[in-house]
Amino acid sequence: MAEDVLPTSAATLSEADARLADAMVKAALRHLGQLDLLIAARLKKPLGRKLLPVQSALRIGAAQLLLLRVPDHAAIGETVAAVKAGKFRPYAGLVNAVLRALAGAELPPASTNLPQWLRARWAPYYPVEEICSIAAELPPLDIVRRDGTTERFTHPYPAVETIAGYDAGEFWVQDKAAQIPVTMLGDIRGKRVLEIGAAPGGKTAQLVAAGAHVTALDRSAARMAVLRANMARLKMQVEEVVADAREYVPAQTYDVVVLDAPCSATGTWRRHPEVLHILTPADIAELAVLQAQMLARAWGWVKPGGRLLYIVCSLEREEGEDQIARFLAAHKEAKITSPVPGEITKNLIHPYPPAGAEEGWGEGVLRTHPAIQAELGGMDGFFAAILSKKP
């Protein structure tokens, strides 16, 4: 993800410059299709792959001019200076001319930011134009208080560390859509829960706050360190396991297994705008295979009468609806269930069950997409399903 690279790249910058660098990169990625169309219209011929750094400079300059409201002279001057400082110095004049021609330009429709192959996949199931429009906006910041109440901050929102109650561990950050799957489990007080793919710990905090005894498993030691720090701030106790779920062998079975599976993350496009530009159909197919492997393994750790909560932050059917349909076909002892009243997910459930799927998908399955409740700022795209094992 972009945020994994930017802190290192910006290590020598002042705090203000580092924030600007982050904003420039995220804005360029979030509006990549729009900016590329505008740039292409002002070039006599396309820039080849060997000139990708020049194209990138144009994108960053255009993002400053058209999205971040940086004064024209500063945006153009700094971008040209950056090009002059490197081996692409001969193209500084081109960059200067294109950016000057871009000043004041009107952005094309937000839908041009969506790669065509993804548009073809999404169009039968989602309101693509609405999703693209909201994905072009800066995402809100959602926090969950220990008492279960939530707050939403819109841009420009404060630094998380400055929000009242942060040091006292009174809240954690978690997108509205990400909050819903755990609530679908209903009363889990006293239940033993294994959470797979637990870091950074938003759902972990939910589970602990709901009264569960949680074992948090993640294969990344670095990510587990983040979870550990979050749990320490929240003053929550969990058992930590750093291991690959495909190799891990637990000492017991669990009342509930939560599988937050590795996925394409297309539902988090607005927060991670690079996702759609590095993803390929082959990646989705490969992830679907991995998810199926992890589902089958995790199912073995659910005790008779227990439940498995499967979650992905993806809009792809292979990772959601189709994945669960295949699992149910192979595991006759599994059934989709919903132990909570429908009001919890009312107006949020948008499942697209495969043809011939059994009834119950509207109760035990969750599907959100970014344009749901757009008037309130939208939410990430998630798929979740609760599978119960026969006693």
Dihedral in degrees, nearest 10, Cα atoms 199, 327, 294, 366: -10
Amino acid at 148: G
The CB density around residue 347, as the number of other CB atoms within 10 Å, is: 8
What is the spatial distance between Cα 260 and Cα 294, in angstroms, rounded to a whole number? Answer: 10
Q: Which two tokens stand for residue 207?
A: 């589970």
Task: Answer positive or negative: Cα dihedral of 249, 252, 253, 256.
Answer: negative
Q: Is residue 132 among the annotated active site residues?
A: no
Q: Which long-range contacts (CB under 8 A, 24 or more apart) does 14-23 make?
A: 20/68, 23/68
Helix ranges (H only) for 10-167 are: 15-30, 32-40, 52-66, 72-84, 92-102, 116-122, 128-135
Check 313, 366, 379, 387 and give the catalytic one. 313
Of 124, 178, 139, the C-alpha closest to 321 is 124
Task: At 310, give phi and psi (nearest 5°).
Answer: -100, 130
What is the spatial distance between Cα 387 and Cα 290, in angstroms, rounded to a whole number? Answer: 18
Beta bridge partners of residue 213, listed in sequence order: 192
Per DSSP (E only), the strands in the chain are 141-145, 150-153, 171-173, 192-196, 213-218, 239-242, 254-260, 302-312, 334-336, 365-367, 383-389
Of 263, 201, 250, the C-alpha closest to 226 is 201
By the 8 A CB rule, do 383 and 314 touch?
Answer: yes
Of 213, 211, 239, the C-alpha closest to 227 is 239
SS3 at position 149: coil
Q: Which residues are catalytic?
A: 313
